[in-house]
Chain A
Amino acid sequence: MRSFLPGEHHEEERLSALLDDELDNEDALKVTRHLAQCESCMAELEELRSMRSALRHLPAVEPPPILFDGVATAAATYDLAARRSRRMVAAAVAGAGLLAAAAFVAGAEGGTVSPPVDLFVVDHVTRVGGGPMVTPVDLGRRGS
């Protein structure tokens, strides 16, 4: 078991983390001190560095067209379905919102109104009033 204590060896992941600059300042300082005193750990560190360098210089490999098409089609299908799904959800939400708004507006009572009672009275007496005697009418006496 390796540890950060002086004289002890480090785990490979700690050395890898050092190469990736993922250790904080305090831990990096401890590992570096150990490496200065431990040849085996230094050798292991150099081996890790060499392997990474070799991997980076490998030539790029093109995927077979069939695989690419399949992945692309699958990705496109997934993307289209996702987009459709998102659109449907968005459309449903928008539609519900629109319907709610329309219902809210259509269900309105139209605010307040001030009936033109005087005009209604004149209208009634003149246009539709009738009977055995002229309809009695009293305008402007009772707040009409």
Chain B
Amino acid sequence: MVASVLGVAFLALAPVGALATPRTQPAESSGRLRSDSDAVQRLQAAVEEARNAAFDARLLVVAFDTDGPSVVELEVSQSRGDLRVSHGEAWALGRSRARGYFTQAGELLQLGSVESPGFRPVRLTSKYAVRSVPSQDLDTGPAEPIEVIERDRQVLRERLYVDRGTGLVVRRETFDGAGEPVRLAVFTQVRLRDQPMRGVAAVDEGGTRAPTPLTDESLAILADVGWRVPKELPAGFELQGGYALPESEGGSMHLVYSDGLYTLSLYEQFGRLDSDSLQGAVPVSWGDVHAFTWPGSQPERMVWSGDGLTFTVVSDAPADALVEVTSELPHGQAPSLPGRMVRGLGRVLDWAWPFN
């Protein structure tokens, strides 16, 4: 099993190195890059196909970091909005009947309703240029590559391969802001099914975790009392919605952002970070930012404290985007006693103000 996975990894890695070096230069090196409308339509069709088709696949994920590549192989089943991703018998997660779930060690945890931001071509093409490149033959058959280029930096961010036979995206190469490969996700095996996948048998019986959707008014109130609710984040991420998470998670808030290509989750909790609780985390610093991360982890995640809050960012975006986001949000040491008093006085006056 290990040998076969490594063998596939070797086959999968070879084209990445070949395609990523040298750094891809867009054809239009000056002026505003334009999207190829055919490429956008093809990408949108592939996303729709993945949502509606019923298939089983094996997904190989290779993450690159300074310690070298790390490899994990997953089983994926998808049909009509339902999704199941599993790693052998270790764990499984997915969506069933528009509700998220997670199983591990025989226990089921319900995650509440699914609120996926979805694929929005307009948002995608406002930040990125999408274009087609000549077709290639992959292990799974001939595919039509689509490149997604960040306009401002004029750097390749994604290369997506749409399988000519199934219409699915079967290979996804992700690059950082310097054009270096950071992740490869490839279906090494895809099998279409006529029947929809089975739901989770005990989906209604597991432990329930029910995030509460927050309205714009609720988010505004939370912002007034000290939570951070930016409508926009660096790297082109815009607020899509927010949720109040259960008390069991420390009374945290979850904000969802999207830049049209990647989704970014920002979790906030009141209190300073207990860094000893972060198993396997690596401290990273730049400027006056001190954070913790897990190099090579998928999706990327970063944790830090600032202004009395602890932030956790989770995203499928490359790490450089998380660095931009972290730099923009509060970070630093605990405020002094006068700072605490001033902040507390402001909150008290705000609560007591009769016109609020």
Q: Mark B81-102, 1 if CB is under 8 A from A, else 0.
A: 0010101001101110000111
Report yes or no: B111 in contact with A107, Cβ–Cβ below 8 A.
no
Report yes or no: A113 in contact with B172, Cβ–Cβ below 8 A.
no
Interface residue? B17 (CB, 8 A): no
- Nearest opposing residue in chain A for B344, CB measure: A107
Quick one: which of B277, B295, B345 contacts A114, CB cutoff 8 A? B277
Q: Mark B246-277, 1 if CB is under 8 A from A, else 0.
A: 00011010101000011101010111111001
Residues of B within 8 A of A134 (CB): 50, 59, 76, 78, 83, 85, 185
Interface residues of A in 68-104 (CB under 8 A from B): 99-100, 102-104
Interface residue? B296 (CB, 8 A): yes
- Interface size of A by CB at 8 A reads 44
- Nearest opposing residue in chain B for A113, CB measure: B271
Stretch at the interface among B131-139, B310-318, B321-329: B310-318
Bound Cα distance from A141 to B271, whole angstroms: 28
Bound Cα distance from A121 to B347, whole angstroms: 32
Interface residue? B278 (CB, 8 A): yes
Interface residue? B297 (CB, 8 A): yes
B85, B169, B278: residue with the most chain A Cβ atoms closer than 10 Å = B85
Q: Mark A116-142, 1 if CB is under 8 A from B, else 0.
A: 110111111111111111111111111
Bound Cα distance from A99 to B61, whole angstroms: 56
Stretch at the interface among B6-14, B228-236, B334-342: B334-342
Quick one: which of B263, B277, B341 contacts A100, CB cutoff 8 A? B341
Number of contact residues on B: which range applies?
A: 35 or more
Report yes or no: B115 in contact with A136, Cβ–Cβ below 8 A.
no
Bound Cα distance from A134 to B76, whole angstroms: 8
Report yes or no: A128 in contact with B348, Cβ–Cβ below 8 A.
no
Interface residue? A59 (CB, 8 A): no
Q: Mark B146-174, 1 if CB is under 8 A from A, else 0.
A: 00000000000000100000000100100
Bound Cα distance from A19 to B70, whole angstroms: 108
Contacts A105-B344, A131-B263, A143-B279 known; A121 to B299 CB distance under 8 Å?
yes
Bound Cα distance from A9 to B111, whole angstroms: 109
Quick one: which of B74, B252, B310 contacts A137, CB cutoff 8 A? B74
Which residues of A are interface residues toward B (Cβ below 8 A)? 99-100, 102-117, 119-144
Other A-B pairs, 19, CB within 8 Å; known A125-B299, A126-B93, A130-B116 = A107-B345, A110-B269, A113-B271, A113-B274, A114-B250, A114-B278, A115-B273, A115-B278, A119-B209, A123-B111, A126-B83, A127-B113, A127-B211, A128-B116, A133-B50, A134-B76, A136-B61, A140-B90, A142-B294
